[in-house]
Amino acid sequence: MPIATVNPANGETLKTYEAMGEEELERRLQLAMATFRTYRTSAFAERARLLNRAADLLDEDQRDIARVMTTEMGKPVKQARAEAAKCAKAMRWYAERAEELLADERPAEADVKDSGASRALVRYRPMGPVLAVMPWNFPLWQVVRFAAPALMAGNVGLLKHASNVPQTALYLEDLFHRAGFPEGCFQTLLIGSGAVDEILRDERVKAATLTGSEPAGRSVAATSGEMIKKTVLELGGSDPFVVMPSADIDRAARVAVTARVQNNGQSCIAAKRFVVHSDVYDEFAERFTEGMKALKVGDPSEEDTEVGPLASEQGRADLEELVDDAKRSGATVLCGGERPDWPGWYYPPTVLAGVSREMRIHREEAFGPVATLYRAADLDEAVLIANDSPFGLSSNVWTRDEAEVDRFVRDLEAGGVFVNGMTASHPALPFGGVKRSGYGRELSGHGIREFCNITTVWHGA
């Protein structure tokens, strides 16, 4: 895949970039390691000053970088500005809290004495250069939620971004440079996916994090496992959105529309499978379908656009295959289901009912504004349908019955359970999944400790 900016609204190639050669990659790896040796000893206060400065610059750049994201991957421009603002918020959150999150931990005095020590503690130390392999769908946020905690922990970052968002990738390197971080703290590597394996095998790279597809995750995990290197993987998702009879059906249907089509439906944590109790199925289906039909699809640079194009022509083709397979197998199309006849890689908001286990869309992630509806006879069946997926990233549950909430929290196989609301990420809350959605956690204290050497310090009596 070429490293290029291709506007998904019209298919026009705007900029192309040459991949970095071996000599430049070697220079950057050397720089990363040299920088880490000194940066790792910097004070939390200095790291926080630099990260807060990066947040201030990002706020100043918000409108410009939002236009870049919209041009590169089709995100509606209002959502792009919101993404930039969220990144600045996360930077400030980690700048303020990292020292506390990584403070020395001291075991109970009785346990210290029982170990034969006069004193003991646990210290979090940085690991070194960390490779981040990141996707195009949230081209700022996916990177910042790795970079902010990694830099505050004293690590340095190497970014291999998706090949269709090179301008955003280069902006991120420039942002941290302008903020005053030492040269080599954060570097963008303009390389194709084929070069990732070699970099992972380099002894100077100490760990890796990947957000992306299941095949990409398997590849990174396999090489990292061979090299005995720590990884964090956030892969696909096919999140259930469960609606029970006690729910506010009107609100649930309105939130369901946003939960499905956020970022043009190209979000791992977007709700994709809507599991509705039989008692309220017809009412929810009608309101949800009306909401999907009413969305404005169009030019993502326009302020009132709610759904823009998919990021790539191949992405649209993959989505069409899933929908067409479902239609051939008997699914009912309640709205959408056919590509529009205009330039760009658009696909309409689509709702499918009557989905069965034999259909590909039941097993595979639909990365675009396509929703599937399921009817559940009771809570037990709702749990079974929700868990009948190879993925387990997050989940949404709509009920005002606390006993039902407890049951869903206990039994849903997911990294998160959001009750009477849609899944969202926040710096204070850990983010990640189970099953084929990956392992490890980003954000919160759990995220900043993922790439730390958890060190036992023991003093003899």
Which of 185, 268, 335, 452 is catalytic? The answer is 268
Structure tokens at 333: 């199309």
Find the DSSP H helices in 268-353: 278-293, 313-328
The answer to whether 185 is a known catalytic residue is no
448's CB contacts (< 8 A; 6+ apart) are 94, 98, 101, 102, 149, 150, 152, 153
Cα torsion through 56, 62, 65, 67, rounded to 10:
180
Structure tokens at 87: 């990144």
Cα 237 to Cα 390: distance, rounded to the nearest angstrom: 9
Cα 237 to Cα 214: distance, rounded to the nearest angstrom: 10
Is the dihedral angle over the CA atoms 174, 177, 183, 185 positive or is it negative?
negative
8 A C-beta contact, residue 84 and residue 55 = no
Structure tokens at 310: 């998919």
The answer to whether 268 is a known catalytic residue is yes
For 376, the enclosing helix (H) or strand (E) is strand 370-376
Q: Is 444 helix (H, G, I), strand (E, B) or coil?
A: helix
DSSP states of 16-82 as a string?
EEPPP-HHHHHHHHHHHHHHHHHHTTS-HHHHHHHHHHHHHHHHHTHHHHHHHHHHHH---HHHHHH
Structure tokens at 364: 């595979």
Cβ–Cβ contacts within 10 Å for residue 23, how many? 8
351's CB contacts (< 8 A; 6+ apart) are 285, 288, 289, 292, 333, 334, 335, 336, 370, 371, 372, 373
Structure tokens at 107: 């075991």
Which of 83, 173, 234, 364 is catalytic? The answer is 234
Q: For residue 174, what are the CA distances in angstroms to 152, 167, 188? A: 18, 10, 9
* Greatest CA separation for the chain: 79
Residue 123's beta-bridge partner residues? 455
Strand pairing category for 396-398 and 239-243: parallel
**Which residues participate in catalysis according to the annotation?**
234, 268
